[in-house]
């Protein structure tokens, strides 16, 4: 992913960075890195520039230099909006982490809010909301009193839920996404929330949905336990994951998304008192023309 187009604040540095991008696009990442390094001599505190330098070194196969550039980006911006920690993990230069930086996820979706639906639905063949909505209706026909749409984004899943839900609440880390969702007028409540620390203090819901959300969480124990606390005894939990072969519980992919094994998903659900009502393999989206495989899961609370 190309980072945000944030200016260095130095005109000559920005010009050199633009030329570096042209060299990278023409298949010369090593020369691009050299030129961008020159730009960074003029703007040494440009975190986005250091991050991009790391990507250019990575493209050239210079992983030690890439690691140094990403470490500098992280030093300059510890909140890590660009996801330098994840890049370091992927090249084996940082220990594996159970969760991504929250600032990275928030920045990513704020940046893509305006083009999100067009890119996801029209270009990547995103059909998960329809698939998951049908799976919910099949597993538990009838209406739901209160549904929580976690990681609601622009409201693609909410549009499918609204016809059979009395009250619909949406939660997302991105203010940009929430603004798009609000414009649709389908939610009774929208609130900004980091799902790594999510808890629900209101009335217990009878449906909680997390469509294409856990790819940005990694470890699932805490969020699944929070969903269990938010659900009524007969409540339904519907979600999706990208999948990896059983072995590791979950893994960070080159896309900087997480994939989970089916065994891990089953274990985490059972630990929080869920039984699986349905579990189906599906294509979540396409990436570079290839299908991204995943699971659509419908789980219910075990009755005492």
Which pLDDT score, from 0 to 100, does residue 2 have?
46
- For the entire predicted model, the pTM comes to 0.90
Report d(CA 86, CA 108) in Å as an integer.
13
Residue 112's pLDDT is what? 83
- pLDDT, residue 8, reads 81
Domains of the chain in start order, with CATH, are 11-95 (1.25.40.10), 116-301 (3.40.50.150)
Q: DSSP per residue over the chain, as a string? A: -PPP----S-HHHHHHHHHHHHHHHTT-HHHHHHHHHHHHHHSTT-HHHHHHHHHHHHHTT-HHHHHHHHHHHHHH-TT-TT-HHHHHHHTTSS---SS--HHHHHHHHHHHTTTHHIIIIIIT---HHHHHHHHHHHHS-S-EEEEEEET-TTSHHHHHHGGGEEEEEEEES-HHHHHHHHHHT--SEEEE--GGG----SSPEEEEEETT-GGGT---HHHHHHHHHHEEEEEEEEEEEEB--SSSSEEE-TTS-EEE-HHHHHHHHHHTTEEEEEEEEEEEEEETTEEEEEEEEEEEEPP-
Each residue's pLDDT tens digit in the chain (304 positions)?
A: 444 457 888 889 999 999 999 999 999 999 999 999 999 999 999 999 999 999 999 999 999 999 999 999 999 999 999 999 999 999 999 998 889 999 999 999 998 888 877 777 666 667 889 999 999 999 999 999 999 999 999 999 999 999 999 999 999 999 999 999 999 999 999 999 999 999 998 899 999 999 999 999 999 999 999 999 999 999 999 999 999 876 789 999 999 999 999 999 999 999 999 999 999 999 888 777 788 889 999 999 865 5
Residue 292: what pLDDT? 87
């Amino acid at each position: 992913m190309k980072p945000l187009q944030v200016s260095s604040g130095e005109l000559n540095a920005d010009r050199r960075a633009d030329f570096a991008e042209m060299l990278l696009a023409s298949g010369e990442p090593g020369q691009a890195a050299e030129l961008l390094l020159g730009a960074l001599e003029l703007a040494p505190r440009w975190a986005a520039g250091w991050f991009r330098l790391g990507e250019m070194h990575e493209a050239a196969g210079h992983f030690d230099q890439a690691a140094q550039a990403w470490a500098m980006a992280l030093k300059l911006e510890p909140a890590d909006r660009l996801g330098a920690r994840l890049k370091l993990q992927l090249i084996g230069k940082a220990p594996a982490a159970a969760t991504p930086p929250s600032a990275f996820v928030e920045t990513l979706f704020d940046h893509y809010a305006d083009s999100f639906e067009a890119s996801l639905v029209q270009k990547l063949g995103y059909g998960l909301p329809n698939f998951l909505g049908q799976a919910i209706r099949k597993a538990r026909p009838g209406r739901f009193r209160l549904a929580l749409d976690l990681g609601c984004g622009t409201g693609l899943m909410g549009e499918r839920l609204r016809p059979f839900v009395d009250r619909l609440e949406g939660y997302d880390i991105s203010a940009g996404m929430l603004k798009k969702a609000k414009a649709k007028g389908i939610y009774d409540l929208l609130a900004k929330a980091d799902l790594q620390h999510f808890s629900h203090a209101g009335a217990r819901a009878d449906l909680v949905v997390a469509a294409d959300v856990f790819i940005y969480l990694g470890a699932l124990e805490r969020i699944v336990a929070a969903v269990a606390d938010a659900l009524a005894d007969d409540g339904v939990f519907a979600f999706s994951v990208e999948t990896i072969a059983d072995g590791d519980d979950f893994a960070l992919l080159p896309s900087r998304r997480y994939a989970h094994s089916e065994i891990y998903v089953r274990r985490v659900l059972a630990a929080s008192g869920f039984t699986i009502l349905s579990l189906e393999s599906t294509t979540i989206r396409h990436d570079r023309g290839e299908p991204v495989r995943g699971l659509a899961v419908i789980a219910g609370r075990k009755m005492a």
